[in-house]
Amino acid sequence: MSESPLFPDRQFAAFLFDMDGTILTSIVAAERVWANWARKHGLDVEAFLPTIHGRRTIETIAGLGLEGVDPEVEARAVTEAELEDVEGIDAIEGAAAFLAGLPADRWAVVTSAPRALAERRITAAGLPLPTVMVASEDVSRGKPAPDCFLLAAERLGHPIADCLVFEDAPAGIAAAEAAGASVVVVTATHSHPLETPHPGIEGYGSPRATADGALSF
């Protein structure tokens, strides 16, 4: 992040971070697992893989409407495979120091992944585990519904309007917008520009916090 703040006239009560593509990259591992699953079910792997990012596994599978496929059973199988495959998972540049520099009660991870998988990937990337995490099993509607970000703000004890969301995927950006949060787009894993009105960053600098814990970015 540059020394000039992206939101010069704002201070935030809390930062809410998506996980995959935002504080770490697990694209290589995730796409290995999903490609195997897609081939098993006769899908066009190249066309299917771009659809998996930023959404809950069960919703990705259910949305396919595959005959004779139980989304809950298949989602568990995919998650188990992802728990076993953490090769190539790395932190986004600067994320480890950035998160470590934040007050523990002022940030959360908000992910479409199950909690066990999120904790495994965060640890594999060498990042600190958050005090507050909202995972796929914590909400009945995943991104792009706003529920996950609203719940994270509630658990941190701050209004969502006072939170800044860090996201990389269209579904997550839409969820943050629907929740009423400010948004910054992390572009580190993007191969093509994403059309969005929100400011973007490739990596993280140093967090800025006032004496009372208010955050700027």
CA angle, 209 then 99 then 201, to 5°: 85
Question: Whole-angstrom Cα distance, residue 153 to residue 178?
Answer: 14
Active-site residue (options: 18, 147, 162, 168): 18
If you write DSSP's letter for every residue of 15-71 in order, what string do you get? Answer: EEE-SBTTTEE-HHHHHHHHHHHHHHTT--HHHHGGGSTTS-HHHHHHTTT-TT--H
Q: What is the DSSP letter of 201?
A: E
CA angle 166, 116, 140 (to 5 degrees): 65
Q: Which candidate in 9, 20, 90, 138 is catalytic? A: 20
Would residue 20 show up in a list of annotated catalytic residues for this protein? yes
CA distances 137 to 8, 58, 76, Å, are 36, 10, 12
- Residues acting as catalytic residues: 18, 20
